[in-house]
Structure 1
Amino acid sequence: MDSVDLSGLSSGEILIGGEWRRGRGNKYTSIYPADQSVNADVYGANEDDAREAIEAADNAWRRADWSGLKPHERAAVLHRACDLIRERHEWLAQVQRRDNGKPINETRALVTSAANTFRYFAACLETLDESLTPPRGEYLTMSVHEPLGVVGAITPWNSPIASDAQKIAPALAGGNSIVLKPAEVTPLASVALARILEEAGVPKGVVSVLPGKGSIVGDAIVRHPLVKKISFTGGTEVGRGIALLAAEKLMPASLELGGKSPTIVFDDADLDHAVNGVLYGIFSSSGESCIAGSRLFVQRSIYHAFVERLVSSARKLRVGDPSLEQTQMGPLISAQHRTSVERFVSLGIEEGGRVLCGGGRPEGDGFDRGFFFLPTIIEGLSNGALICQKEIFGPVLVVLPFDDEESLLADANDSAFGLAAGIWTRDYKRAWRTARALDSGTVWINTYKQFSIATPFGGWKDSGTGREKGYLGIREYMQQKSLYWGLNAAPLAWAD
């Protein structure tokens, strides 16, 4: 496995309240999941660092050298951040690859996404209007939006730089300060992004990046009284805890949580498109994706033919070195997570499932040094099986036949989650009916796992609340105020 120049990140320093220094939490080692080689030593933050960063963020917000800028002035800084990300595109992609082991072509796409996110919200900021509302008396009424103050953002390990950008860019566009806690195991891309934001012109103290344990740093951020909003992407159980704390503070929280997304292949689907789309939906990112299409429903009349093609194609997927252009699947994030995936596969077998391909670790030179797991397809289970109900967050697909739309929708919606879904059919009327009937925040039709920063994203049910992205994504990080301008010629009559 190759390496990348991490000398700019090897000091272990993190950005705390505008100062680059080592955190006062535990020192730990960032490793490359593909071969367990060392990336860097990291000095994580602790509660005192979090408190210092939040207080600095509140001071920075109140002194108004960011929140008080005109929208086009803040937009200029966001545009500069986009330009700097683009200038360092390949290096950032390699850092992200080392951070979490994703194949290089995928990390390049994530860096491009991050750059585009800053550019998009810069454009939105320059064109976002306030509104005059229809008056119902002798007054002029208007609605304006103002920053919340300090925003806490907590991001996951599966796509750090893109997730960071989706929270930081709209929060900054709204005039807020932001304290970011990246996942403990993937700090490098977030620290690199913090240096770019500083260079782009974000004032001192407006952004802090605090790697460390979620139970310590994340908890301190959520609980602090100066934090006025939390934006969290991660597991559902942690999200529930954040929601409870946010409710106690009467603080808004955007929660993008887990998923167990159904993918549906009808008998009239273009099978070439469907096979490729299903494989991409579950096995890209090694299945470590909240929107992974992990439950596959195939109409019974084509079930055997389709599954045969699917399994044949899955066996040909290229698992291996993430630095190579041809690699489609890299390792899982850690040995502990791979063990969790293995337990789910064993559970599926115990429940009566049959493994059609994969089901274990690949063999061969180099695989034993990393956390690799083969693309796995299981059949012979009902939708009520535990591995059809629990989020695995790995490259495991369960295939289920269906007979008609009614039974399909009952099973597809029989899940605690509602983040995403996919439909494959040539019948546009059936696509419309099915898409509208699915309990899901996003539905892809004859495609899968495509994203636009211009289109809102979020979940239903246990998959979360609130939305990211979209033209109004900035408003998620602002609070609304109404203004009344009196136009009456005479004094108010009541006091006469």
Structure 2
Amino acid sequence: MQLPADSLARRRLGPAPNQLFIDGQWVDSRSGKQLDCVNPSTGEVIARIAAGNVQDVGLAVAAARRAFEGPWRQMLPHDRQAIMLRFADLVDRHYDALATLDAMDMGAPLARLQGGSRQRALGGVRFYAGLATAIGGQTIANSVSRAMASYTLREPVGVVGAIIPWNAPLGSALCKIAPVLATGCTMVLKPAEQASLSSLALAELLAEAGVPPGVVNIVTGLGDTVGAALAHHPGVDKIAFTGSGPVGQSIVRASAGNLKRVTLELGGKSPNIVFADADLDAAVPGAAMAIFGNSGQVCAAGSRLFVERKIYREFVLRVVAYANQLKVGDSLDADTVLGPLVSREQMERVLGYIDIGRQEGARALSGGQRLVEGKLASGYFVPPTVFGDVDDGMRIAREEIFGPVVCAIPFDTIDEVEQRANATPYGLGSGVWTRDIHKVQRLTRSLRAGSVWVNCYSVVEASVPYGGYRMSGYGREGGLQSLDAYLETKAVWVNAG
């Protein structure tokens, strides 16, 4: 696959393979069918990808199994580490081109992808490369006999099926690939059908870095075909999934066949709590971008904005003013802050929730309609939308919208907001804005969420675990804890007598 040049012309794309990457080779799908890749900023088809099927998944799993049982499993940790560091350097070298693919494929603003997203992506691969040589067991002082020695070994779990979402294609792919390589597992990667191009581009960089054939296989296609086949396949030892709750539940059910390990990073309806004593100059942009970043297409987005009543009106009006000055536009424009939603389907879903909010009695203080002026007419653009007069029981306050829509809700006491923040089946992210250390200490312990951000929001780094409680999934990505899901623990007893 030829990567686009950094000076890629607007709405142009270099040739992309409408093939699958299996056993180190580009191969045609067994179905012969293809799917359109649509630029959500323009509505134009920019490429076509292969629509894999069950047979393709079977071939990819078989290749991953051969690689796992072959030389890859015998490779020393420092050799895997060297490969990973070469891979990170290649991603760094081609990052601008990869980011451009994501900007065109799913609509994330290029300026955003070239900022902190770059460091997170590269830092994650290098973090796991460091861990590749740090995996080890422990010696145990057993009480059976002085002549009996006991210790543990940590071994790779085997073939991993990785299913990633469309809202952060490049970062999600790297987040799944890195722990697989570090632990000595192999994988079949299924990118989201709405945004597969950067994952396909990574295939060539992996091969150039020296990753042996079959270690990483990439099968594009529909979720209910390729994703379901991976979840059911008896040759897959673990599924690592990021996506929606209903799909996560279906994966858990499918995993029962061979009792696959499953880690799930699912959705959220995260509370973002602003107290009157907060630094409002920091909290206003912080609260706005907690939901409007990536056009609200973030699992942990701070979509329920709880504001202490004594500052509620002032704060919400400031958030509205901030939202109204955010530039919405083509993802390739340098000054764009909010790009389009990923697809027409997602846009219609978000607009449907906006209509529901109005019907339920909420008041749109900003945004609230599709943008169709000028160059935006053919894209899938929804502006930042702030709802006031929201009740906790409204659907827009209970259900994940996955768009640039925030519900501003007043509260009076910490006891009240603590209970209301936790009154959700989700538990992925949460935010607290205050200068009071006592409030910080209390809420960081009582909020039922995998991440609590204090006087900031949605800060993510590979060395820190990330994941959810309850319906937001289980397992962690990032941090030392994430490796546990990719490793088996074997107990060894040696009778030295």
What range describes the TM-score normalised by the shorter chain of this pair? over 0.9
**What's 1:214 paired with?**
223
Q: 1:226 aligns with which of 231, 235, 242?
A: 235
Q: CA deviation at 1:95?
A: 1.0
Query: Which residue of structure 1 aligns with residue 101 of structure 2?
Result: 95
**Counterpart in 2 of 1:3?**
10
Alignment check: 8 A CA contact 1:81 1:115 kept: no
Answer yes or no: is the 8 Å Cα contact 2:432–2:454 preserved in 1.
yes
SS at match of 1:218: helix
State the partner residue of 1:492. none
Structure 2: how far apart are the matches of 1:384 and 1:393?
Answer: 18
Corresponding position: 1:42 with 2:45? no
User: Which amino acid letter does the alignment assign opposite residue 288 of structure 1?
Assistant: Q
Q: Is 1:6–1:39's contact at 8 Å kept on the other side of the alignment?
A: yes
- When normalised by structure 1's length, the TM-score is 0.96
Task: Give the ranges of 4+ consecutive aligned residues of structure 1 lying more than 3 Å apart after TM superposition.
Answer: 109-112
Q: Give the aligned residue type for 2:296.
A: G
- Deviations 1:382-413 (CA, angstroms, capped at 9, x unpaired): 11111111100000000000010111111111
The answer for the alignment partner of 2:5 in structure 1 is none
SS of the equivalent of 1:453 reads: coil
Matched to 2:460, the amino acid is F
- What pairs up with 1:471-482 in 2 under 5 angstroms? 471-482=480-491
Shift of 1:2: 4.8
Go from structure 1 to structure 2 and tell me whether the alpha carbon gap of 1:131 and 1:228 turns closer, same or farther (over 3 Å shift).
Answer: same
1:450 match: secondary structure: coil
**Equivalent residue for 2:76?**
70
Would the aligned equivalents of 2:372 and 2:378 in 1 still touch at CA under 8 Å? no
Map 1:77-476 → 2, pairs under 5 A: 77-108=83-114, 109-136=116-143, 137=145, 138-476=147-485
Q: Write the distance in 2 (CA, Å) between the matches of 1:22 and 1:44.
A: 9
Give me the whole-angstrom Cα distance separating, in 1, the residues matched to 2:12 and 2:488: 42
Which has the larger displacement, 33-42 or 78-87? 33-42
Contact 1:265 1:274 (8 Å CA) reproduced: yes
User: Structure 1: which amino acid aligns with 2:309?
Assistant: R
RMSD: 1.3
Q: Which moved more, 1:389-398 or 1:355-364?
A: 355-364
Secondary structure of the equivalent of 2:365? strand
TM-score (norm 2): 0.96
Q: Offset at 1:237?
A: 0.4
Contact 2:160 2:238 survives alignment (8 Å): yes
Alpha-carbon distance in 1 for matches of 2:9, 2:363: 37
Q: Encode CA deviations 1:405-427: one digit per residue, 9 max, x unaligned.
A: 11111111111110000000001
- Does the 8 Å contact 1:17/1:54 carry over to 2? no
Match for residue 17 of structure 1 among 8, 18, 23: 23
- CA shift, 1:363, in A, is 4.0
Q: Distance in 2 between matches of 1:248 and 1:300?
A: 52
The verdict on how the C-alpha distance between 1:166 and 1:60 changes in structure 2, with shifts beyond 3 A counting, is same
Q: Give the deviation of 1:6 after TM superposition.
A: 3.3
DSSP 3-state at the match of 1:398:
strand
Q: Distance in 1 between matches of 2:176 and 2:391?
A: 38
Structure 1 residues 50 and 2: alpha-carbon distance in aligned structure 2, compared to 1, 3 A threshold? same
Provide the secondary structure at the position in 1 that maps to 2:237: strand
Among 63, 70, 92, the residue aligned to 1:56: 63
Deviation at 1:475, TM superposition (A): 2.6
> 2:128 is paired with a residue of what secondary structure?
helix
Question: Structure 1: how far apart are the matches of 2:349 and 2:36?
Answer: 22
Show CA shifts across 1:78-108 (max 9, x none).
1011000011111111111111111002222
What is the distance in 1 between the residues matched to 2:284 and 2:390? 21
Give the superposition deviation at 1:263: 0.2
Matched residue SS, 2:37: strand
- SS of residue in 1 equivalent to 2:377: helix
Separation in 1, partners of 2:91, 2:492:
39
Q: What SS does structure 1 have at the residue aligned with 2:42? A: coil
Q: Amino acid of the residue matched to residue 266 of structure 1?
A: F
Contact 1:467 1:473 in 2 (8 A): yes
Report the AA paired with residue 139 of structure 2. L
Structure 1, gaps ≥5 residues long: 489-496
Aligned equivalent of 2:37? 30
Letter of the aligned partner of 2:155 in structure 1?
A: E
| SS of residue matched to 1:426 | coil
In the alignment, the residues of structure 1 paired with residue 401 and residue 419 of structure 2 have an alpha-carbon distance, to the nearest angstrom, of: 22
| CA shift in 2, pair 1:41/1:464, >3 Å | same
Once the two structures are overlaid, the 10-residue window that deviates more, 452-461 or 379-388, is 379-388
